[in-house]
Structure formats: C-alpha cells, structure tokens
A and B are shown apart, each in its own frame.
Chain A
Amino acid sequence: MDFAKSDIQTMLLDSAERLLSDMSGVEYWREQRHRPFGFDEARWAQFAELGWLALPVPEEAGGLGGTIEDVALLNIVLGKALATEPYASSVVLAAHILGQADDRAAADEALGGIADGSLRIALAHQEDGADPLALEVGATHARPAGDGFILDGAKLLALDAPGAARLIVSARIEGEEGLGLFLVPVEAEGVALEAYPLIDGTRAADIRLKHVRLPASALLARGHRGAQLLGEAIDRASIALMAQAVGAMEAANRICGTYVQERKQFGAAIGSFQAIQHILADMFVAAHQARSMLYHALANADRPEAERAAALSAARLVIGEAGQLVSRNGIQVHGGYGLTDEYAISHYFRRLLTLEKQYGDLTLHVGRLGDHIFA
C-alpha cells in the first residue's frame, strides 16, 4: 500500500493546480454561469491540450490509458476549483462505455473526439420515478427496424446533456432481457432537449425521444453486458465526482479557517472562540474521513460487481454526509455572509449538495449498502 504519487501523477497535479488556481473564485464562477453550457469552451480546449480529456481513454483509441487513481487525483483539483466542466460525464463515464463497446469503429471515432476535446457525450438514463441505481429502464424502448432500431421514450435530468453533441441512451430492446445502450446524435430527428441549469451552475436536460431512427452501429452494448457496462461506468463517474467532493470540502475548510481568523466580533477573531474551533475540528474530521473513503472506493474499483458496488456505496455514504457537514457548518461560521452569492462558501454549498444527489443520492446508497450487508 502506497499513498505516494507517481512522477506522472505529480506532474498532472502540478499542471492542474497551475491552470485552475487562476481560474477559480466567485468572479470566475459567476461569469461561467452565463455561458451557454455553464463552462468556458476555451478552457475545455486547454483541458484537451494538457491531456486531461485523453486521460481515461484507452491507448488503443488514442488516449493516455490513465488509471482510475490518476482520474481521481485530477478530479480532486477540479473539485477544489469548483470546475463546472462535464468531466465525469463526458470523459469518465462515456469513455468507459465506448472503450468496451461492440462496434469498435464507431466507438474509436467517438473516443478520439473525447480525447481531443471535439466531442462531448452525455448519459441519458434516468427516468421519472425510477431508481437511479437500478440498471433497467421503464419507458424508453428500442424496436428493431430493418438494419437498425427505432427509439422512443423520455429521460429526465440527463447531466451535462445541453453541451453534448451525442447522448448515450439506455433503452429496453423489445424481445430482449437486459439493457441496450445507444449512441444517439443530439441533432437526430425526433430528439428534443429541454435544457436547464442546476443550482451549482452546471446544466442538465429532459429528453424526449420520438421515433428516433438509428443505424445498427449506434448500439454500443446490449443484454446483461449492457447493464453491467452501465453500472461500471456510473460507478467510475461516481468516483470522479466523489474526488471532486473531497477537493471541494478541503477547499471549503481552508476558506473557513481563513475567514474565522479575519472576522472579528466581541473584539476578537471568532476563530478564537472554542465553539467555532470545535465546528472547524468537526469539518476537518469529516473531510479527512471522506478522503479515506475515496481511497477505499479506488482500491475496490475493479473488484467483482457486488463488492465494488458495496464499497462505492459506503464511500458515497461517508462522502455525502461529510459534504453536508462541511458545507452546512461552512455557512454557519460565515454567518449572514455565507448566504450571499458573493462569498465562495455558498458556491461550495451548492456544488456539494448537487454532487450528493448525482448517480444515486445518500438515501439510496445507504439502502444499497444495508441490503448488501445482510444479503
């Protein structure tokens, strides 16, 4: 067991710190909010130049073939800077599915686009009323037609879909068990997006699919394997988001530590009061335990499905609760200023709340782990 970073990991982190430390803070975040997709496309191009977008893409497809640990370390820095770029969805999640897809020609072309920054892909899986962790769908279905398929259905809250050119749509294939995963161009006839912002400035969309005609090559995976692949990809995206949450918590703690030394009441810095000190100590404990659980999730990322899912849910549980403890107390020690858009802590609060809800919220992960313990 070795927690030390490799030379490549250190270089990656240094480049990330260099680029993002200048592009962070309330001014920057408020600017991004007004951009069409909630982030700066020029910075996305820089991500590509630095090789970050190629990181989880397999070497055979022109990527760097980085490990999930590399991905997590980069995402800690992204989280610290509250980056709104769709890294977890368009890079981590999409690259994993495409890397294992049946039709290599189509998949490799898409992977090349992910790696060089020219193509963003979003997952459209969740449906209203469905369990986000269940690897099955209700309404959306695909009917074999000629050489291809016709897709119908509706999806909810497809994260980062507004800025994506293609979607990975999960659908039940008529007459088949399991799950079909389809690569669908957003501009295809019959695809309609209703885009909206989330409270952290990122974007999501509801999607209607009406008689969308797809060629056979659009099918990335099917049957049991389709479901399995989607589960793996979601868990990897979840790890990236947990890493962002850990980075966000550690940054929030630093901000609060500085604030309580500057803010004076009763003639003294509020950080000199034990009541405030103990709140900060609790925040430190929570963030420390959160990072420990990120390591636990990473150590189990390639284990068989049941153990991987249990480890991931355990991590989501600790990190989700820690994120709430840190951000809620973070606002509390800021007093009224914590509720303004002008102080960083309110941005961290909104990000950490959004992260806790993605790919299965706290309650769902508690349930999944509890069922695993007594399975």
Chain B
Amino acid sequence: MELRLDPELENFRQEIRGFINDVLPPDMRERQRRKVANNADVTDQLRWMRILNEHGRAVPHWPVEFGGCGWTPMQLFIFNEELYAADAPEFDWGGTHMLGPVIYSYGSPYLRERFLPMIREGRTMWAQGFSEPGSGSDLASLRTSAERVGDTYIVNGQKIWTSGAAHADWGFFLVRTDKTVKPQRGISFLIIRMDTPGVTVRQIPQINGEAHLCEVFLDNVEVPADQLIGEPGMGWTYAKFLLEHERTTSSFIYWSKRELARAKDIARGERRNGRPLSADPAIRARFARLEADLLALEWSVLRVLAHEELETPEAAAASVLKIRGSELQQEVTMLQVDLLGLKGARYFDVAPTPPPTPDEAWPDYVPGRTTVALITRAATIYGGTKQVQKNILARLAFGL
C-alpha cells in the first residue's frame, strides 16, 4: 500500500501547468472564467480542441494508435485537474469521452477513419440522443425506431434533453432496430448528421435562461446503414460500456474543485458589517464540510482509477462517485449563491453583449454563479438519477 503521490507526478503536473499556460489564449481563458452561461462558448471549445490537437493532446485518454498520449490514469487525472484549474474551455465530452471510445472499441474501420479524426481535430460538435419523453430512468423502453431498408435506416421518433443539439453537426442516437426481442436486445447505436432532412431541433428554454437542452424530432430520417456502430442490437451494451468506461467522469471532481476555489474568492471578497464572510465561523464550517467531502470524493475517484480491490463490485464504487459527485456540484454552486446573499438573485443574461462591467459592488465573480447553480439541479437527474443509483447500490452492495 503506497498512498503518497509519486514525486514524478509533481514534475508532470508542473509540465502540464506550463504547457497550458503557454498554449491557452488569454482571451479564451478570460471568456471561460467570466462566462455567465453554464456551457462554454462553442467557438472557443472547437478552437481549443484544435490547439490541443496541434500538440497531440486533444484526446490523451484514447489509445495511442488513435491519437492518445499513453498516459497513466493518474496522469490523465492531473491533466484534467489542471485544465479546469486554468479555466480552459471544456471538452465536447459527447465526442471525446463518449462516442470516441465506442467507435474505437466497436466501430468499423470506416467509422474509425471517418469520425475519430473529426472529433480529435475539433471539427465537429456532437449531440447525444438517448432520453425520450417517455423513456428517462427507464431508458430501455425507448421507442425511436430505425428500420432497415436496403442500405439505409429510416428513423422515426423523438429525443429529449439532447444537450447542444442546436449547435451540433452530428449526433449519436440509441434507436430501436428490433421490436420482437427483449427491450435491451433491440437497441442499436446510430450516428446521424443533424442536417439530414427530417431532423428538427427545438431548443428548450431552461430554468437559468439558457436553451442548451433540446428536443430532437426524427421524421423519416434516412441514415446510411454503415453509420450504425458495431452490431445491430448491441446498442445497449455499447451505451453501458461508455458509461463504465467513463465511470470516474460523473464525479465532476475537477469542476467542483475549481468551483470551490471560486467560492473561496467570493467568501473573501464579499463583506458583511465590514468583515469578509470568510471570517464568520458559520461560513467557515460550511467550507470545512464541503472541502472535506470533496477530498473524500477525490480519494474515491483515485481508488476507482487504481482499481482498488474491493469486497463489492467496482460498479458500486462508481455509483458512489455519481451520487456524491452530483450532490457536491449542487452544494458548491448553492454555497456560491448563498455567499452572494440577495445579489445572487439578480438575473444576468446568459449571452450579454457587451459583458457586464464589474465594479466594487458587482465583482466579476457575481454574474454566472446563479445561472450555473440553477441548471446544476440537473446533476442528480441525468446519467441515472440519484434514486436509480441508490437502487443499483442496494443491489450491488447488499444483494437486495
């Protein structure tokens, strides 16, 4: 048992920090730091992917043959941590962390050659079409159908909560290709171009003023059959694979750590009766709990990354990451809002032109905090609700 961090990794961290500092354009970093909306600027996201790709670091977690860096899980952990700490635009996770691994694991040579470079080089934004109006937690009941006719699939149905669909060039969808078998067995994984005739996107106005989540209507959409990944009927297996492949991602540990640092800035900056909030023992106690809980989450992530031998299945440890990760995202963002007091109730437009000018009463950390906190209520809902995770835990950890 060796729990201390390998000193070599500290050198790696310094190298990564220097690298990001060298290549991340200051204007991009500033936009990301000060953005009011929860989601990163799409242009910045793609531009940042291209910059990373020029240095061979756009998809470091992929196998080396597809453009990965061959790093250890700990190196990847540090890379991600440093990206968030530096306010780099986020990856388009749908492409880099979900679709990419499914394609290089199960896709045909044609799909690999066509789509992996597209993702790696930041040429496309991706939409994820899983949920349907009638199929949320019970995803296997999904009804969007894809019927094989010659060399094409004819797709009909409706998807919802498809994030970023309005800006996406491509989407990956779970569709039903066989209605005669057990629900999980009849699902396939299909890539669809978003400008194909019959695809209609409606942006859904959100609780926080954004309209990032979308409904996607598919009406007799013709999709070339070679855009089906792997085998027909294996979509459910692939979807489970991508969730398991990225089982530490759901912790959002890097993001929450960055937001905790921001909360500390707010606590030092906001004053009550002439004293900074950070001097108040009740505020300090809230920070102590959150910091300790995030450290616990971080170590739980490290345990999964290192494949610690456990008495319960590793999937149980992954559910812990999802439950605590989502709860802590909510706690850290609500702490930020609470620290702002009534200032936190002010509405800020998510796409302001020009951006709000900070002054002493309205520092640049105010706009965006509540916008983000509002949509972060989604964290315990998407990707398997907190309650579904608890059902899973009861089964895996206790055999109930």
Chain A residues with a Cβ under 8 A of chain B:
1-6, 9, 69, 73, 253, 257, 260-261, 271-272, 274, 276-278, 280-282, 284-285, 288-290, 292-293, 295-296, 298-299, 311, 313-315, 317-318, 366-367, 369-371, 373-374
Give the distance to chain A from B391, nearest Cβ to Cβ, in Å. Answer: 7
Q: List 20 A-B contacts (CB under 8 A).
A: A1-B4, A2-B2, A9-B1, A257-B399, A261-B399, A278-B391, A288-B317, A289-B293, A289-B300, A292-B295, A292-B298, A292-B300, A313-B292, A315-B292, A317-B292, A318-B296, A367-B284, A369-B291, A373-B288, A374-B267
Whether B281 sits at the interface, judged by CB under 8 Å, is yes
- Give 16 A-B pairs besides A278-B387, A285-B323, A318-B293 with Cβ atoms closer than 8 angstroms: A6-B1, A257-B400, A272-B400, A277-B391, A277-B398, A278-B394, A281-B391, A281-B393, A284-B393, A292-B298, A292-B299, A292-B300, A299-B5, A318-B295, A367-B284, A374-B268
From known contacts A317-B289, A370-B281, infer whether A281 and B1 are also in contact, taking CB-CB under 8 Å.
no
The answer to whether B398 touches A271, judged by C-beta atoms less than 8 angstroms apart, is yes
| A278 (CB) vs chain B CBs: closest residue | B390
Closest to B397 in A: A284
Nearest chain-B residue to A3 (Cβ)?
Answer: B308
Residues of A within 8 A of B4 (CB): 1, 299
Assuming the contacts A257-B397, A278-B390, asked whether A373 and B306 have C-beta atoms less than 8 A apart, the reply is no
Closest 4 pairs (CB-CB, A-B) = A370-B284, A292-B299, A277-B394, A281-B390
Inter-chain contact total with CB atoms closer than 8 Å: 150
- Could you tell me the distance in whole angstroms from the C-beta of B163 to the nearest C-beta in chain A? 27
> Are A271 and B400 CB-contacts (below 8 A) given A5-B1, A289-B324, A367-B284?
yes
Out of A296, A311, A314, A371, which one reaches B284, CB within 8 Å? A371
Could you tell me which residues of chain B, from 253 to 292, have a CB within 8 Å of some CB in chain A?
264, 267-268, 278-279, 281, 284-285, 287-289, 291-292
Q: Is the CB of A314 within 8 A of B292?
A: yes
Q: Cβ of B297 < 8 Å from any Cβ of A?
A: yes
One digit per residue, 1 when the CB lies within 8 angstroms of any chain A CB and 0 when it does not, for chain B 369-399 equals: 0000000000000000001011101100111
Contacts of B391 on A, CB cut-off 8 Å? 274, 277-278, 281
Q: Say if the beta carbon of B74 comes within 8 Å of chain A.
A: yes
Report which residue of B289, B302, B324, B397 has the largest number of chain A beta carbons within 10 angstroms of its beta carbon: B397
B86 within 8 A of A: no
- For the complex, what is the distance from the CA of A260 to the CA of B399, rounded to whole Å? 11
Among A257, A260, A284, A313, chain B packs the most CB atoms within 10 A around the CB of: A284
Q: Tell me the smallest distance from the CB of B328 to a CB of chain A, in Å.
A: 11
List which B54-111 residues lie within 8 A (CB) of chain A. Answer: 74
Is B320 interfacial (CB-CB < 8 Å)?
Answer: yes
Shortest A319–chain B CB gap in Å is 9
Bound-state Cα–Cα, A314 to B293, Å: 8
Assembled-state Cα–Cα distance A6/B3 (Å): 13
Given the complex of chains A and B, what is the CA–CA distance between A288 and B312 in angstroms?
Answer: 11
CB-nearest residue of chain B relative to A68? B3
Q: Within 8 Å CB of A253, what residues of B?
A: 397-398
Q: Does B288 contact A369, Cβ atoms closer than 8 Å?
A: yes
Taking CB atoms and an 8 Å cut-off, the chain B residues in 310-360 that contact chain A are 312, 316-317, 320, 323-324
Q: Is the pair B1, A2 in contact by a Cβ cutoff of 8 Å?
A: yes
Chain A proximity of B395: nearest CB distance (Å): 8
B398 to chain A, nearest CB (A): 4
A373 and B284: CB pair below 8 A? yes
Report the separation of the CA atoms of residues A318 and B312 in the bound assembly, to the nearest whole angstrom.
21
With A317-B288, A370-B284 already in contact, the answer to whether A1 and B3 are too (CB < 8 A) is: yes
Chain A contacts for B312, CB-based, 8 A: 284
User: Is B27 positioned at the interface, with any CB of A under 8 Å from its CB?
Assistant: no
CA of A271 to CA of B399 in the docked complex: distance in angstroms? Answer: 9
The answer to whether A281 and B308 touch across the interface, beta carbons within 8 angstroms, is no
Smallest CB separation, B320 vs chain A (Å):
5
| Inter-chain contact B3/A370, CB cutoff 8 Å | no
Rounded to whole angstroms, the CA-CA distance of A369 and B1 in the bound complex is: 27
Indicate if the CB atoms of B296 and A296 lie closer than 8 Å.
yes
Q: Known contacts A3-B306, A3-B309: does B267 contact A314 (CB below 8 Å)?
A: no
Chain B, interface residues (CB within 8 Å), range:
35 or more
Among B1, B5, B279, the residue within 8 A (CB) of A4 is B1
Q: Whole-angstrom distance from the CB of A130 to the nearest CB of chain B? A: 19
With a cutoff of 8 Å between Cβ atoms, the chain B residues found around residue A276 in the complex are: 400
B1, A289: Cβ atoms closer than 8 Å? no
Do A292 and B316 have beta carbons less than 8 Å apart?
no
Shortest distance between the CB of A275 and any CB in chain B (Å):
11
Chain A residue at smallest Cβ distance from B305:
A1
B303 within 8 A of A: yes
Q: B151 at interface (Cβ–Cβ under 8 A)?
A: no
Given A69-B3, A284-B316: A289 and B296 within 8 A (CB)?
A: yes
Contacts of B284 in A (CB 8 A): 367, 370-371, 373-374
A299 vs B300: C-alpha distance in the bound complex, in angstroms?
14
Closest to B296 in A: A289
Tell me the nearest residue of chain A to B391, going by C-beta. A277
- Residue of B at shortest CB range from A368? B288
Bound Cα distance A145, B195 (Å): 93
In this complex, what residue of B is CB-closest to A270?
A: B400
A1:B292 contact, CB within 8 angstroms: no
Bound complex: CA A119 to CA B279 (Å): 47
Chain A residue numbers with a CB within 8 Å of B324 are 285, 289
Cβ contact of B390, chosen from A3, A277, A290, A371, cutoff 8 A: A277
Complex contact B287–A374 (CB within 8 A): yes
A317 to B391, CA, bound (A): 27
Bits for B1-14, please: 1 = Cβ < 8 Å to A, else 0: 11111100000000
Closest to A9 in B: B1
- Across the interface, do A295 and B394 meet the contact criterion of CB distance under 8 Å? no
Give the one of B284, B295, B303 with max A CB within 10 A: B295
Complex: chain A residue closest to B398, CB-CB: A257
Min CB–CB distance A55 → chain B (angstroms): 14
Q: Which of A274, A288, A295 contacts B3 (CB 8 A)?
A: A295
Assembled-state Cα–Cα distance A369/B285 (Å): 8
On whether A293 and B394 interact (CB within 8 A), knowing A1-B306, A370-B287, A374-B279, the answer reads no
Docked-complex contact B1 and A280, CB < 8 angstroms:
no
Tell me, in angstroms, the Cα distance from A206 to B278 when the chains sit together: 39
Across the two chains, which residue of chain B brings its CB closest to A371?
Answer: B284
- Which residues from chain B contact A261 at a C-beta distance below 8 Å? 399-400
- Pick the residue among B3, B278, B398 that contacts A280 (CB under 8 A): B398
Min Cβ gap B137→A in Å is 13
Which residues of the other chain, A, contact B389 by a CB distance below 8 angstroms? 281
Query: Within the assembled complex, what's the spacing in Å between the Cα atoms of A320 and B316?
Result: 22
* Distance from A73 Cβ to chain B, minimum over Cβ atoms (Å): 7
Report the bound CA distance from A261 to B6 in whole Å. Answer: 44
Residue of B nearest to A250 (CB): B311
